[in-house]
């Protein structure tokens, strides 16, 4: 259950992040989550969107450099140690986390029932995503796919 993530490469100057967001907005693409990492000269805007193919195409039409990466979304229990349990599972498997970021998601069912959000989500980029998925499943933790993230 890997997700496609867009990594958008931007020169680190005012207006470039808003320009990237505007490109998506103008073609009707909603951003589920994003993370920005930067250096003095360049930044990488990591984005999860439902229609990643259209997003990639639109960025390329606007001469924005974009790369597609596979990431894994894992539900994190909303309690002390929720993330630590996941990280220990990965450590035990000798997996390297290249990067990670988190966000909260209110599932469609919860929106309808007005239930409270009970977990957050961490997005991971692994050196070996297949092994990471297997180890997470062995531990009984929840991996989220397109259906859970985007409602597909």
Residues of the chain above pLDDT 70, percent: 89
CB 131 within 8 A of CB 90: no
What's the rounded Cα separation, in Å, for the pair 49 and 28?
Answer: 11
For the chain, domains (ranges, CATH) are 2-69 (3.30.2130.10), 71-150 (3.30.2130.10)
- 95 phi/psi in degrees, rounded to 5: -90, 140
Give this prediction's pTM.
0.84
Give the model's pLDDT for residue 48: 96
For the cut 90, the answer to whether the pLDDT of residue 38 exceeds it is: no
What's the rounded Cα separation, in Å, for the pair 111 and 32?
Answer: 15
Give the model's pLDDT for residue 111: 47
Strand (E) positions, the chain? 2-11, 31-38, 42-49, 65-77, 97-104, 119-126, 143-144
User: Which residues, at least 6 apart from 51, have a Cβ–Cβ distance to it below 8 Å?
Assistant: 29
Unique residue bearing structure tokens 């000269």: 41
Question: What digits encode the pLDDT tens for the residues 18-29?
Answer: 999 999 999 999
The crossing angle, in degrees rounded to 10, of helices 52-61 and 16-26 is 120
């Amino acid at each position: 259950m890997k997700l496609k993530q867009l990594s958008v490469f931007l020169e680190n100057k005012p207006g470039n992040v808003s320009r990237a967001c505007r490109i998506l907005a103008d073609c009707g693409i909603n951003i589920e989550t994003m993370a920005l990492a930067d250096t003095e000269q360049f930044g990488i805007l990591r984005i999860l969107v439902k229609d990643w193919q259209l997003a990639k195409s639109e960025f390329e039409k606007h001469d924005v450099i974009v790369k597609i990466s596979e990431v894994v979304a894992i539900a994190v229990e909303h309690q002390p140690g929720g993330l630590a349990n996941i990280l220990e599972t990965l450590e035990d498997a000798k997996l390297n986390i290249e990067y990670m970021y988190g966000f909260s998601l209110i599932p469609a069912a919860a929106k309808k029932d007005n239930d409270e959000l009970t977990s957050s989500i961490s997005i991971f980029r692994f050196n070996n995503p297949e092994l990471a998925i297997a180890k997470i499943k062995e531990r009984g933790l929840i991996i989220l796919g397109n259906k859970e993230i985007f409602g597909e």
